[in-house]
Amino acid sequence: MIIHSEYKRLPSRQSFHILRFSVLFAGAFLVYGCHMVKQAQPSTSGKTDIPAIVAVSTDTASKGIDWQQRKDYAFSKGTLVFTNRFATARLNNVTQQNDSSYTLEILPENARINPSPWYAFKVWSAVKRKIYLTLKYPGYKHRYDPKFSFDYKTWQPVGFPVTVSADEHQVSFKLEVATDTVAIAGQELISSADTYKWVDTIARLPFIKKEIAGKSLKGKNIPVLSTRGSDGKKIIAVLSRQHPPEVTGYMAMQEFIRTTLGNTVLAKQFREKYELIIFPILNPDGVDEGNWRHSAAGVDLNRDWTVFKQPETRTVRDYVLKTAKKQDAKVYFAIDFHSTFYDVFYINELKDPNSSNSPGFTVQWLDAVKLAIKGFKPNIKPSGNGGDVSKSWFSRVMGAEAITYEVGDNTSREQLKLKGRVAAEEMMKLLLK
């Protein structure tokens, strides 16, 4: 973590020339959000239209990415510095327009890709000043309104008007900067290291087993947590962070897990009957690189659940299959947490509803969540998705009721925690009946 005192030691101008890998462009269907096959239009009114789902077939062979150059961008004789030298950052270039205006270029890791530009950078100034920033996403549309933080824990919207251009390819806002380094990002910054710390905290519970299920393409750990106390015959699987910027889904997952691992009578009874298998971060490379959507291979991992060409998806598949075989177990429910413009529950279309290990559970569960949260009406979208997403694999291969839960980008943090908690509580109640 960079703090302002570090910047005071910076020379007036620095640049770090990092080897850039060539981009191998490969065609794929243009996807948006987490499950979209045509472009949806962002709206400041919050009425973004999410298209219907159709089956897709995606080439998940490694495509390569254009690694962003990690460097400090210094201006005004080194008294104003922008940097992307930290995990989760995304900043591709900074140019000065006049004495107080700067254009920041934000580019994707490769093409083609969903048009939802993620950005994250830090700024420090030797003197207090107002600057005017324009974030430019050539060919892509704005999604995440800027937030700021000094401690990287408490985040707030920038306190000035945010102007989105007519074509939505750039956004402008004013910012006051001084000697305290300020972080600007589309969402809260949660790196793989932050997740590993959270995992270690959970692993201190006496009934939790922590393992390293496998490694990412760049050798980062893919941790898995599992509960002990049941006979291991009934499994619940939880996944998160297949797509790097989808922080609201990750936060809802955390609350879901806290609830199921809690000290309540309900949670204890549930863990006596069911084993939880939790994969909190499937794409640590993409998260730390600040990718918009893809892994270090330039691949959408949530389109690799049929051919399993990527080590991250193979890790989960192999662990689940091995565990189920070893314990003679069945997966009764699987939930994969994601984020998009507003809350959406993607459920499987089953030709034979009785083919799952817990027939009818998903519909009953969503009805129960609706009743438990006053005024909440789940936005439910059945989809087959051609079998290449996680929920389809868990349904087709493991016989599980499975769902992709998309948490809204702008869902309040209090609301997403409430929904995560209630979702867990209602799941436990139903499965214990």
Judgement on whether residues 308 and 428 belong to the same structural domain of the protein: yes
* pLDDT reported for residue 228: 97
Regarding whether 217 and 166 lie in a shared domain, the answer is no
User: Do residues 160 and 248 share a domain?
Assistant: no
Task: Give every residue of the chain whose pLDDT is below 70, as ranges.
Answer: 1-57, 384-386
Could you tell me if 197 and 314 lie in one domain?
A: yes
- Cα(420)–Cα(433) distance, integer angstroms: 21
The closest alpha carbon to 294, from 139, 153, 148, 107, belongs to 107
pLDDT of residue 386: 65
Residues 21 and 109 occupy one common structural domain: yes
Give the count of domains, the chain: 2
Specify if 46 maps to a domain: no
Domain end, chosen from 186, 211, 241, is at: 186
> What's residue 387's pLDDT?
82
CATH number of 83's domain? 2.60.40.3120
Q: Among residues 141, 164, 186, which one ends one of the domains?
A: 186
Give the predicted TM-score (pTM) of the model: 0.87
User: Two tokens at 40?
Assistant: 């949806």
Residue 211: give its domain's CATH number: 3.40.630.10
SS3 372: helix
Whether residues 356 and 310 share a domain: the answer is yes
- Residue 150 shares a structural domain with residue 220: no
pLDDT given for residue 59 in this prediction: 83
Cα–Cα distance for residue pair 142/409, rounded to 1 Å:
13
Domain coverage including residue 137: 1-30+61-186
* Residue 39 located in a structural domain: no
Which tens digit of pLDDT belongs to each residue from 187-243?
999 999 999 999 999 999 999 999 999 999 999 999 999 999 999 999 999 999 999
* Number of neighbours of residue 138 by Cβ within 10 angstroms: 12
Q: What pLDDT, on a 0 to 100 scale, did the predictor assign at position 57?
A: 53
User: 166 and 123, same structural domain?
Assistant: yes
Helix (H, G, I), strand (E, B) or coil at 347: strand
The pLDDT score that the predictor gives to residue 384 is 66
Do 398 and 269 lie in a common domain?
yes
